[in-house]
Amino acid sequence: MPSLELTFLGTGTSQGVPIIGCDCHVCRSKDPRDNRTRTSLLIKAPDLHFVIDTPPDFRDQCLREEINRLDAALFTHAHTDHIMGFDDMRRFCEMEDRKMPIFAGEETMSHLRRMFQYAFDPPQIWKNYLRLSPNVIQGPFQLGETTVLPVELPHGKMTTTGYVFSREGRKLLAYFTDCASVPDVAREAARGAEVLVLGALRDAPHPTHMNFEQAFKTAAAIAPGRTFLVHLCHEVAHAKKELEMSEGCQLAYDGLKVLSTKS
Amino acid sequence: MPSLELTFLGTGTSQGVPIIGCDCHVCRSKDPRDNRTRTSLLIKAPDLHFVIDTPPDFRDQCLREEINRLDAALFTHAHTDHIMGFDDMRRFCEMEDRKMPIFAGEETMSHLRRMFQYAFDPPQIWKNYLRLSPNVIQGPFQLGETTVLPVELPHGKMTTTGYVFSREGRKLLAYFTDCASVPDVAREAARGAEVLVLGALRDAPHPTHMNFEQAFKTAAAIAPGRTFLVHLCHEVAHAKKELEMSEGCQLAYDGLKVLSTKS
C-alpha cells in the first residue's frame, strides 16, 4: 500500500492568525487550532521527505515538528507568505552536507532567484550556507518513487502551481492552495485522490482565493477520499466552522498529521 | 530627562537558538533566555516607536511583545536574518492607513528594493498591503525629536550601518551589530552613550563578527553607561556566560526591556 505521511506545518493566510494588533475573537482565541502560521505542508514519503513552500514561520514550524531531515522543497508561488523562510533550509544542507533540490515553475523560480540571489549565485560555497539545486518545472517529475504532476491554477493576474502526488500509480495527494478556482485540467489530474488539500480563505468571496462555498463545490467535483482546507483567515473560528463543513471536508490546523494511504 | 524604552525583540544569530536539528545543551536548554529569535530591537521614544531590522521572526516578536504601533523601521544591512519579516510591517500600514517610513544605507536599500519589489513599485495600492516611504541614509536624520547618527561598520566584504540615537543633545543609545570591529569614527560617535548594544557572537573569533573579547574591549573604549550584547549563537549558555561578563556588560535576551534615560 503506497502512502504519504502529511504534517500541516502552517494553515494560515499571509498575516497568520492571530494578526498583529487585532483583537477579534479568533485572534484572541485560546483554541490552539486557531493559531495559524503561514501555509506549508511537510510530506514524508517512505524514501524522501519534502516540503511545499517555506513561509516566514518555517524555522518555527521545523522546531515545533522536530523536523531534522528535508530532501527537497516545492514552491507554489513566490508571494512572501510562501517563501520568506527560504534561507532556513540552510540547516538541512549543513546537516547532510548537500545541496537542497528545489522545484518551482519558471516565473516562481525567477522570483526566487531575484530575491535569494546570494544562494543561487554564491560568490563562495560555505558549508553552513544555503546551497541549491534548482529545478524549473516543465512537466511531471519524480521525487524518488513519488511522481509529481504540476498543474496551473489561476491566482489573480498570476498563476500558482498545484501538485498531484502519486506512488505506484495511485493518487495519494492533490495540493491546491492560493487559487481563485480549480480549472478542469487540474480537477481531472486530482480526481479520486486519497487526500485533497484546498485553499479556502473564508465565507466571503475574494477575487484571488476560493471561499468555503467554492472549495466545497470543487471538492465535490474532484471526489477525493478526504479534503482538508488550509490558508484560513482570522474570520474562521475552528470550533464553530468545523460544524459547517461539507461532507468529506475538514479544516486543517497547524500540527495536524494525516496518513494518506491507498490500497 | 530624555529617554528611550528599549525592547530586545530578538538576540540570536542567523539560525536562531535553538538551531533546527541541533541537540547541543544550549539548543535543548529550558532557560527561556537561551531561546533566541533573530536580532531586532524595538525603540519607543516618547513621540515615535521604531524598530531596527525586521527578522523572519518579526511577526512572532510583535505578537509576543503586543506591539500595535510602529512609526518607522531602520535597517542595518540586508542579510536574510535581518529583513525577512519585512512584509509583516504591512499590518502597521493598515492600522494607521499610512506608508511605513524605512531608513537604510544605499546598498541595503537597493537590496531591499530588489527583494521586495512589489512593495517599492506596487502596480496598485491596496489598503492592507505594505506601503513604503523609503529614505536612503545620507547622514544624520530625525525621527521626530530623536536624532539618528548613522555610522559605517565593517562586516566582511560589506559594511553594515550602526546607529547612534540622541534626544535633547544626550546620547541615549548606540546600536552596533554584525560587525567585525567598531572603527574609530563609530567609537567616537558612540562615546559615553547611556546604552550600547553590541553584536558579540561567541568566544571563538569569527571573520565578520566580534567575539566576546573584542566586544568587551570595544565597550571599554566607548565607555557607555551600560552595554548589552546581542547576536548570540548557540555556543552561548546564558546562565553560564553571564558570570563571565566584563564590568558594565550584560547579555541581552529576547523580551528584555531597558529604559535608557540620561539626566
Interface of A with B in 92-111 (CB under 8 A): 92, 95
pLDDT over threshold 90, residue A45: yes
> What's the rounded Cα separation, in Å, for the pair B76 and B61?
18
Sheet holding A132-136, edge to edge: A132-136, A100-104, A72-74, A49-52, A40-44, A3-10, A257-261
- Determine the pLDDT at residue A63: 98
d(CA A230, nearest CA chain B) in Å = 20
- Determine the pLDDT at residue A126: 81
Q: Cβ separation of B56 and A84 shorter than 8 Å?
A: yes
- Determine the pLDDT at residue B1: 85
Chain segment B42-74, per-residue pLDDT in tens: 999 999 999 999 999 999 999 999 999 999 999
Written in H, E and C, the secondary structure of A2-61 is CEEEEEEEECECCCCECCCCCCCCCCCCCCHHHCECECEEEEECCCCEEEECCCCCHHHH
- Determine the pLDDT at residue B95: 96
State which amino acid sits at residue A133. Answer: S
Q: What does DSSP assign to residue B72?
A: E
Q: Is B2 on the interface with A (CB under 8 A)?
A: no
Provide the Cα torsion A30, A31, A35, A40; round to 10°. 170
Instruction: Work out the pLDDT band at B247, boundaries 50, 70, 90.
Output: very high
- Determine the pLDDT at residue B263: 75
Q: What is the mean pLDDT of residues A109-136?
A: 93
Interface of A with B in 33-72 (CB under 8 A): 56-60, 62-63, 67-69
The domain locations on chain A are 3-261
Chain segment B22-35, per-residue pLDDT in tens: 999 999 999 999 99
Quick one: chain B helix, strand, coil %, rounded to 5? 25, 30, 45
- Determine the pLDDT at residue A249: 97
- Determine the pLDDT at residue A241: 98
- Determine the pLDDT at residue A111: 98
Interface of A with B in 116-175 (CB under 8 A): 116-117
Q: Cβ separation of B84 and A81 shorter than 8 Å?
A: no
- Determine the pLDDT at residue B201: 96
- Determine the pLDDT at residue A1: 85
| CB < 8 Å to B90, chain A | 15
- Determine the pLDDT at residue A210: 97
Q: Is the separation of the CB atoms in B230 and B177 below 8 Å? A: yes
- Determine the pLDDT at residue B125: 80
Whether the upstream peptide bond of residue B46 has omega within 30° of 0, thus cis, is no
> What's the rounded Cα separation, in Å, for the pair A155 and A197?
16
> What's the rounded Cα separation, in Å, for the pair A13 and A7?
17
Alpha carbon A177 to its chain centroid, in Å, reads: 7
How many residues can be counted in chain A?
A: 263
> What's the rounded Cα separation, in Å, for the pair A238 and B34?
33
Q: Is the separation of the CB atoms in A10 and A173 below 8 Å? A: no
Q: Cβ separation of B15 and A91 shorter than 8 Å?
A: yes
Quick one: chain A helix, strand, coil %, rounded to 5? 25, 30, 45
- Determine the pLDDT at residue A123: 82
Q: Helix or strand or coil: residue A154?
A: strand
| CB < 8 Å to A58, chain B | 56
| CB < 8 Å to A90, chain B | 15
How many helices (H) and strands (E) chain B has is answered by 8, 14
- Determine the pLDDT at residue A75: 98
Chain segment B200-224, per-residue pLDDT in tens: 999 999 999 999 999 999 999 999 9
A184 CB burial (10 A radius; 0-12, 13-18, 19+): exposed
Search chain B and give the residue with CA nearest A15.
B88
B50 CB-near residues (< 8 Å, 6+ apart): B42, B43, B70, B71, B72, B73, B74, B143
Chain segment A160-212, per-residue pLDDT in tens: 999 999 999 999 999 999 999 999 999 999 999 999 999 999 999 999 999 99
Search chain B and give the residue with CA nearest A68.
B21
Interface of A with B in 196-255 (CB under 8 A): none
Chain segment B146-192, per-residue pLDDT in tens: 999 999 999 999 999 999 999 999 999 999 999 999 999 999 999 99
pLDDT over threshold 80, residue A105: yes
**Residue of higher predicted confidence among A49 and A128:** A49
- Determine the pLDDT at residue B8: 98
Q: Cβ separation of A15 and B90 shorter than 8 Å?
A: yes
- Determine the pLDDT at residue A212: 98
Q: Cβ separation of A87 and B84 shorter than 8 Å?
A: yes
Residue A8 pairs with which residues in a beta bridge? A41
Residue A229 pairs with which residues in a beta bridge? A198, A251
Distance separating the N- and C-terminal Cα atoms of chain A: 5
Search chain B and give the residue with CA nearest A16.
B59
Query: Closest by alpha carbon to B203, among B214, B187, B190, B192?
Result: B214
Q: Is A24 on the interface with B (CB under 8 A)?
A: no
Written in H, E and C, the secondary structure of B106-127 is HHHHHHHHHHCHHHHCCCCCCC
- Determine the pLDDT at residue B240: 97
- Determine the pLDDT at residue B190: 98
Tell me how crowded residue B138 is: count the other CB atoms within 10 A of its CB: 9
- Determine the pLDDT at residue B64: 98
CA distances from B131 to A11, A233, B88, B116 (A): 25, 21, 11, 11
pLDDT over threshold 80, residue A152: yes
pLDDT over threshold 90, residue A149: yes
Distance separating the N- and C-terminal Cα atoms of chain B: 5
pLDDT over threshold 90, residue A262: no
Q: What is the mean pLDDT of residues A100-108?
A: 98
Q: Which of B14, B23, B84 to mutate to test the interface with A (most CBs of A within 10 A)?
A: B84
Q: What percent of chain B has pLDDT over 70?
A: 100
d(CA B236, nearest CA chain A) in Å = 19
- Determine the pLDDT at residue A103: 98
- Determine the pLDDT at residue B30: 97
Search chain A and give the residue with CA nearest B66.
A21
Q: Is A256 on the interface with B (CB under 8 A)?
A: no
Q: Does 3.40.190.10 match the CATH number of domain A3-261?
A: no
- Determine the pLDDT at residue B244: 96
| CB < 8 Å to A114, chain B | 114-115, 117
| CB < 8 Å to B63, chain A | 18, 20
Chain segment B72-117, per-residue pLDDT in tens: 999 999 999 999 999 999 999 999 999 999 999 999 999 999 999 9
